[in-house]
Each structure stands twice: as structure tokens, then as C-alpha cells.
Amino acid sequence: MFEVYRKEIEWGNRTFSFETGKIARQADGAVLARYGNTAVLCTVVINKTQRHDIDFFPLSVHYQEKTYAAGKVPGGFFKRESRPNEKETLTSRLIDRPIRPLFVNEFKNEVQVICTVLAHDLKNDPDIVAMLGTSAALCLSGAPFLGPIGAARVGYSDGQYILNPTIDTAKKSELDLVLAGTQEGLLMVESMAYELSEKVMLDAINFGHKSFQPMIDAIIELAEACAKDPMDLPETKLDIKAIRRKLEASGKAMMETAYDEPNKIKRQNKIIDAKKKAIESIDDLLEEEVANTLLKNIESDIVRSRILNTGKRIDERNTSTIRPIAAEIGLFPRLHGSALFTRGETQAMVITTLGSSHDEQIVDALEGEYREHFLLHYNFSAFSVNEVGRMGPPGRREVGHGKLAWRSLKPLLPSKEHFPYTLRVVSEITEANGSSSMATVCGASLSLMDAGVPLVRPVAGIAMGLIKKGEEFVVLSDILGDEDELGDMDLKVAGTNKGITALQMDIKITSITIEIIKIALEQAKNGRLDILNEMNKILPIAREHVSKTAPKMRSIKIPVNKIRDVIGSRGKVIREICETTGAKIDVEDDGNVKIVAVDKIALEAAHNWIYSLISEPEIGKVYDGKVVKTLDFGAFVNFFGSKDGLVHISQLTRGKRPETVSEVVKEGDKVKVKVIGFDDRGKVKLSMKIIDQDTGNDLADNIK
């Protein structure tokens, strides 16, 4: 019934297999990829009709994790998977970025890739499995795809590179690097590192590229056995060359003049006018449908040829110069930390908020639930690029840029034990003309230090570009938006003066070599150090103390056998402490107690209350107390948390013994008492008469 094709290979000390022909047979391409006991179904469907009304390739990639893959039931009320979580969004981008450049330029049919995690062995991350499964499914589908691609994860520990470390091993690694590419070169890199040198990072990339070559060979062998015939590219009756000549004749000169304008908004307006004039020369509806794509090509050729032939960039910088930098901190005194970082026409306003452990994000992942105390969110508003745009939840780009900045800063954060705050950093992009994610890194570093977060070292980021024609190429530092859009590479490098903490690379051509990446990394290092020098002029190290408006925190260690006393029956005691003092209290199983309050008074009150619950009263010590009950023979005073003691009528006041207790105190009175001993049953005996009730001074020596 099924004609099943299977290719199996030993890779990274585990078995990887591709299987097709049994599941999802109506898709144009369907591959079940397995690594260990992790399995991902990757499908490709191609719309049979070409779209002429767009100037981009309509590819959509969806990676989805089913909780049943890890033997779990979804959380929440509906008990069903809903919108994509951060991991699913980031992995969808991870798959999209290396495959998109490999579709032929003329192809405009909609393509949809869906990767479904069916099983997760909690050892092998499904993302690499999904990338390789997608590569195989595309090669089998008949799409005009210039693949296959290979992909791998690289770790680094004790001076050794690790191919596809397991999830547990990866947590101990100094490097988490994912890369993808072809036999000839690289297409995509994504990584987080603990201040590693350019050489270590370059060698890791080289190691990964060599390591995934067997996977490319395996996909080729599978495709040779069962791939569908290649699709015929749609023929067009239009004379594309003639249309381009017509557009160039009417609009190219104006576009060249527009690129003499260094100001982004003015330049964009001139380009819009030039394109309008060029379109006016087209009087055929079909020709007009391809005109926008051709105009984009003309625009690209103008920018690229200028840089390659003259070394002159749009804003007249040379290839390695960084745009002017301006930075401010402490923008809003009420906030815990803030910074405004401006580089050229790119600007990020970054705000840091300090919270308690109650503010940590609970992440329900397939690998298990965990809590994250460092959050970084990136927001990109349409006004930052002088556009009218939709308002809605963050898109994939925002999630991806935020995660890149998160990876850049995470290795430099103090340990949770040393600095127990939950950290939320929000980057609001207020201007954008290239590399807003790297502006976020720089602004976030300053904002965190402004909030008093003791970063190990400041972090800066820079975006690098590439213009390549044949064997000739130019690497560009601190690229503009147009240089990103019309160029061949977007390489983002973040780090300190000691090394790299994050690396992200996307290639828009079929691939680039290790040699080009080496040149780009060295040039990026020089630019990063220049940016750090400018940042250090503003704030070289973190402030000594957190903001006055930040919550106050204190940690104490209590005996494990006293935890019940602090919490009380069904949480009664701890609720009372929180409600009375206004503090938040978190008691951990090992006896660590974290107290968070809005001010020092509430913090001290909660701390003293907890301390009284776990300690015993000391003979001879004076305490503040409250009369809770009066009897004929004395008054009971609550003086040490939940502890009560008896002030005998003879110990109420100096001089003549009172006839009744009520002559001196009544219920609710606040008094000062001294512990004078314990009775035969261990009950506390207190005295008021030997304490000055106004000052709390001990008068014992003056009383006869």
C-alpha cells in the first residue's frame, strides 16, 4: 500500500533518519525526520498559481510543538495548543532564514512549510531535526529550490567543540550555536556565547559546516531515489529586458540623484517620486505588475555598484566607519533604569524594571516547566520609519530581535543568588535606519547599569553588511536599512571588550565562505570596541545602588524545621504577615526566604516578624508588645511575633501595687516589656515596671 523510502545515517553518535511515502502523501513533499527518539513531520505544499502582484517571495514557515510529544496535557482552560509560543516562533524563523534565499528569483508561487513535533525524547532538540526535515521535504517536492541545506548545533566546553549536544549538555556549554548552509558555504548562524574570541567562534562555524556535510549527502541520496520532477517555471510573454530599459530611461537618473541624499526621509521621498515617474512610462497592466520588482533591482544595482566601484556609501561613510553615537541615561527618575541610545538615524529608548521572584515568567516547555528571571522585549512602532502601520501583538521579527538582544546580555548578568531581582528590559524603537536590534543591545546595557544591575562588563552590538559581485566583495560596518535590504548579508555581532556574546547571520545569496566571515568578524570587533568606548563615556560601570523607587529586597535563611511556623496552617501566618506589612514573601523548600517590599519600613517589619517566629525570646531583652488579654492577676502581652508572655500585676508599674490590672493597661495597648524569666511550664514572664514606657530604657538598677 505504501512505497516507503528511508535514509538512515549515524551522526553525532546518534541515528538520524529521513522517511517519506507513508505519512502526509498528498503534500508536495513530506518527510518524517527522527533523531534519537525525537520525531518531526515536515511538509511542503506549493500553490500551483504564480502571483504577479508582489515583489517578494511568498514563503511561510510554521513550526509547531504538540504537547503530546512529551507526554503532557496542555495547560490553560481549553486544554488545547493555541497561538505559537516564543520557542515555536523563533524556530519558525530559524527554518525560514536559510531556505528563503535558495528559491530561484523568478518563482513567486506561495509555498507553505509546516513542521510538527510528534515526539520529543527530552534529549535532542527538535529544531535541528525540523531544519533538516524541511530541507529534505523541499528537495522531494519538485520546487525550484537550490538546496539541499544542512544544519547543526555546536557546543563548546573545555576547549572542545561538541556536535549536537543534548539538552542537558548544552546547558553547561560556553556556546550555543546553530548554523545552516550548503556544501559550498553558509546561509545562517544564530548563537549565544560566553565572551568567546573571534577565532573560537570562527572555528566553531567551520566545525559545524564540515559536520553537516554528511546530512546534505544523505538528503541528495534520498532525493535521487524518490524526488518529484522539477516544476516548470511559469513562462511569461513579457519582454523583461525591454521593460527594464523603459524604466531605466525614465527613472534611473532620478534614483541615482536620490542616493546622493544622506537623509533617510528625504531620500525615500525622492525615490518614491522617481519610481512614480518610471511607472508612468508603463501603459500595459501586465508590464506594471513586474515593474515594482524591476525597479527594486535597478535600485539595488545603483547602491551596490557605487559601493563596489567607489567605496562610497549612501551616507558618504567609508566601509568601516561607525555612525555618530549619542547616549543618555536616567531619562525618567521614577523608572528603575532608562537609557536613550542613538546611532545615526537609529534610536532605542530602553527601560529596565526590577521585580521580585513573583514576577518571574513561568515557561511551560516540552522539556518541562521552568522560571525565567530575565526578560527582554523589543517593540517596533511604524512611526520609527515614518509609516502608518497596524497596531497589534509583536510579530516574528520583534520576537526574534528581542531574543537576539537577550542572548547578547544574558552571559553578563549577575547570578540570581548575588542579585535576586527579576529583570524586565523593554526596548522601544523610536527611530530606525538599520540595526535597531544592536541599538537595543547597547541601550539595554546602559539601562541595566543605570538601574544598578551589576553587569560583569558593558555589552555593545554592531551590524555588518556585504556587497558581493563575482569574486569581488566589500564588507560594511554599521549598515543602514537600505544597505541591509539591498545587500547580501546581515551579520550582527554583540559582545564585550573580552569577546563575543551573540552572533546572528543571514545571507541573501546562495552562500558565503568562511574567509568572508573571518574578515567580517575582525572588522566587527574594531567597530564594537569603538562603540564601547563611546558608551563608557556615559556610564562605564553599574551604579552602586538600585533606584530608590525599586522594590526593596532581603533574603534570610531559616531552619527547614521552622518553615511550617512561618507559613502557618494553610498559609494563615504568611498571609497575615503580607497583609499587615504589605510585603511579598517567598519561602523555598531549602529554607531560603525572600522578602520584597515597596519601602524599607515594610521590609523591616516583615523581616522582624519572620525572625520572631523562628527565634526564642532572650532573658533581659526589651521588646515592643501589645496587650491581648487582661485578667485579675495580670496581662498577657504579644511581644515576639506570635509569642505571648504574662506581665504579673506586681510587674505592671513602679511604686504601689495597683488594685486592678485595668488601672494600668487595657486590651490593645502598646507597651514595652522585658523578659525576666520562664515559669515551670516554660511560659515567658515579663515586666513593664522596670522599663521606661516612653524611651524603652532599662530601669532595673534604679528600682528597689
Q: Which residues sit in the known binding site for Mg(2+)? A: 484, 490
Nearest alpha-carbon partner for 626 in 637, 612, 613: 637
Parallel, antiparallel, or unpaired for β 374-380 and 489-495?
unpaired
Neighbour tally for 433: CB within 10 Å: 26
Q: Which residue, chain included where needed, has cell 533574603?
A: 555
Q: At what angle do helices 213-226 and 126-141 cross, to 10 degrees?
A: 40
State the DSSP string of 235-289. Answer: P--S-HHHHHHHHIIIIIHHHHHHTT--SHHHHHHHHHHHHHHHHHT---HHHHH
**How far is residue 642's CA from residue 577's CA, in Å, rounded to a whole number?**
11
Report d(CA 44, CA 26) in Å as an integer.
10
Contacts of 603 (CB under 8 A, 6+ apart): 552, 553, 554, 583, 595, 596, 597
Is the torsion defined by CA of 355, 455, 435, 148 positive or negative? negative
| DSSP collapsed to 3 states, 503-526 | EEEEECCCCECHHHHHHHHHHHHH
CA of residue 688 relative to chain centroid, distance = 59
Q: Could you tell me whether strands 684-687 and 643-648 are parallel, antiparallel, or unpaired per DSSP bridges? A: parallel
- Which residue in the block uniquely carries the three cell numbers 511560659? 683
Cis previous bond, 58, omega within 30 = no
Residue for grid cell 543571514: 506
Distance CA(214)–CA(79), nearest Å, equals 41
9, 61, 275, 518, 672 from 390: Cα distances, Å: 47, 22, 25, 40, 65
Contact 458, 466 (CB under 8 A): no
Question: Considering only CA atoms, which of 641, 563, 638, 630 is closest in space to residue 607?
Answer: 641
Residue type, 630: T
Cα–Cα distance for residue pair 207/626, rounded to 1 Å: 72
- Edge-to-edge strand ranges of the sheet holding 552-557: 552-557, 592-597, 584-587
Best CA proximity match to 584, nearest among 360, 334, 337: 360
Question: Is the Cβ–Cβ distance between 367 and 358 less than 8 Å?
Answer: no
Cα–Cα distance for residue pair 580/269, rounded to 1 Å? 62
Cβ neighbours, 10 Å, residue 277: 15
| Burial of residue 384 (number of CB atoms within 10 Å: 0-12, 13-18, 19+) | buried
CA-wise closest residue to 35 among 139, 120, 147: 120
Q: Which amino acid is at 667?
A: E
The DSSP H or E segment spanning 596 is strand 592-597
In this structure, what C-alpha cell is assigned to residue 687? Answer: 515586666
Nearest 5 degrees, angle CA 685-CA 691-CA 696?
Answer: 120
On the 0-12 / 13-18 / 19+ scale of CB atoms within 10 A, 209 is buried
State the CB neighbour count (10 A cutoff) for residue 7.
21
In a 3-state reduction of DSSP, which class is residue 665? Answer: coil
